A and B are shown apart, each in its own frame.
Chain A
Amino acid sequence: MKPSPAARARFDWRDLIAEALAGLFARPGRALLTVLGAVLGIASLVATLGVAHTAGNQIISSFNELSATSVVVTTDRGFFGDNAPQVALPWDSESRLSRLNGVAAAGSMADVNIGGDLTSSVPLNDPLGQTEFQVPMVAASPGLYPAVRGHLATGRWFDEGHSERADRVAVLGAGAAQRLNITRVGQQPVVFVGDVDFVVIGILDDVLRHADLLNSVIVPEGTARDLYDLQSPTTVQIDTQVGAAELIASQAAIAVSPNDPALVRVQSPPSPESLQTQVESDVNALFLVLGAVSLLVGAIGIANVTLVSVLERVGEIGLRRALGAGRRHIAYQFLLESTGIGLFGGVIGASAGVLIVVAVSASNDWTPVLDARIPLAAPLLGAVVGLLAGLYPAWRASRLEPVESLRASGA
């Protein structure tokens, strides 16, 4: 086929790719350094997204363990509910709720008004030391202990029998026990609240819910009713099985107050999904900015190096133009070179980012979680960044006049 004289120059895309690759491999060291800029940007983006996702997921799982299984029923009407009719929680709230399917444990509690009485252990006449303290008293049902996930340092928690007999027994929170200087219960130590004596049967050293219990004297509900005229429990703590919290929350009000379910307040955990999203967006917003900045720096690096290489290869550009390459062809070649750098950086960066996520997860004993689309999209992002970075250098290259370029390149 004899080409017509007017035929425009043409350039096969395969040739374009081959020429761009050859251009990159002509200076592999420099190309690699340039790639590094893109690698850092993409890696930090991928790592940020991955770590945020992983951490978000991690927060969910620790959240699941405690908060997601907690439902609290109170008679507290809240800030605007002062004038609303109060409803008393029944004494048998614990057994009513325990019957619900999905409740692991339930226990009621109420602050006891002890009229300002001070608490002391053995009456001791010590003019220097303080022996009497203001310690709040809490009346609790037997089920409260598992419901708050308590742990006893020593002794035992009271049972149904103590409450029915209104026994004067008490469990001390760890803080209260320390102040009262009681560390063992083997000798049946006694504390005095005002003039009333209580036998200490246990010391509670940890709870996961209602931490104020640790500074209180905890007595059976029956005892508080008998001695201090306690009217009703004010709070019921429910420990649900995993995943049952929402169901229990909808049933608890009816169970404890069948006549007026609307008058009790039920606090249930927020939906895990919304919490996860919130955590992720918090982490993301901060680090994504960092990632974007480093990607921008990488882009500037690519633009810079491509520009330098255009200036360096003025002779080659002139030659190509003289051999029949159009302005487009020159522009495409340099665009493709910078895009290639970006793409390559994206691939390496995505791999590095995934490794970072895995490493961070491993060091924290987390399960790495990463949206599969992120590492797949990262090379594309790199390519786009490379393409954008190459626009100006490619334009410069395409503007060069063949004669000038051939002359400029000299010998």
Chain B
Amino acid sequence: MELEQVGRVFGEGDAAVHALADATLQVHRGDYLSIMGPSGSGKSTLLNIMALLDRQTSGAYRFDGVDAQSLSEGRRTGLRAHRIGFVFQAFHLLAHRDVTENVIMSMLYNRMPRSSRRSMALEALDRVGLSHRADFLPTKLSGGERQRVAIARAIAPRPTVLLCDEPTGNLDQGTGRSILDLFEELRASGLTVVVVTHDPRVGLQADRIVEVEDGLVELLPQSHRPALSER
């Protein structure tokens, strides 16, 4: 994934908000990258653009060497279905469908054979350690468990990129820790992981840290790491 001077402006004229300005960033296969910054700094916007959920207003974004701007809506949708796993800050689980069905939902739209879906969903649940909750309704689960269902849903179709928006935002420290261990594990299995967070503990886990402040993106050098950990 390659971003080149990507900008995103919401609104027009005087009311225009520059959520992102000239963001340049490269993410390689197998990277573990965290995007940090205070709330409202544009990090979620950056993630949405990377996830092909949103379109930049300026600059170029290449996914696997293909210019995202040139892709039709259908192609973008296809990429979302096949290549990208996205974990939402608010989980977005369907309340009236059980855990397995929620996980299966990410495989509805990408040619996954019907027969293998359930087993793949259970496998993903096993990876996040939730096999014993497979037929629970999301409303019966704790916050950490819901987050893990959301992650299982994102990784079940075996994407190449996992994008997470504040994965530990709603969790206590213990559960947050277990989620981070899970990311570490997923990364080890070859997945590209990008995590948006304002929590330094989460950010420090990553190989590389990108700071976003007022829409400006800056790759944090290794030397700054200790300073960050002291915050």
Contacts and interface: CB of A to CB of B under 8 A. Distances in A.
B77 A8 contact: yes
Contacts of B225: none
Given A324-B109, A403-B53, A8 B74 contact: yes
B108 interface: yes
Given A7-B82, A8-B75, A324 B53 contact: no
Given A14-B114, A318-B92, A410-B90, A323 B48 contact: no
Interface of B: 48, 51, 53-54, 64, 66, 73-75, 77-83, 86, 88, 90, 92, 94, 96-97, 101, 105-106, 108-111, 114, 153
Contacts of B94: 26, 316, 319
Interface of A: 3, 5-12, 14-15, 19, 22, 25-26, 315-316, 318-327, 329, 402-403, 406, 409-411
A406 B47 CA distance: 13
21 contacts: A5-B78, A6-B78, A7-B110, A8-B78, A9-B109, A10-B110, A11-B108, A22-B101, A26-B96, A320-B109, A321-B53, A321-B77, A322-B53, A322-B88, A323-B105, A324-B77, A324-B82, A325-B81, A406-B90, A406-B92, A409-B90
B109 A10 contact: yes
Contacts of B106: 323-324
A146 B109 CA distance: 82
A6 B73 CA distance: 11
B81 A9 contact: yes
B86 A322 contact: yes
Nearest to B45: A403
Contact of B108 (A19, A321, A409): A19
Nearest to B153: A323
Contact of B78 (A9, A15, A25): A9
Contacts of A22: 96-97, 101
A7 B64 CA distance: 14
A9 B112 CA distance: 10
A410 B91 CA distance: 11
A324 B81 contact: yes
Contact of A5 (B64, B77, B88, B96): B64
Contacts of A19: 108
A5 B53 contact: no
Contact of A7 (B48, B73, B111): B111
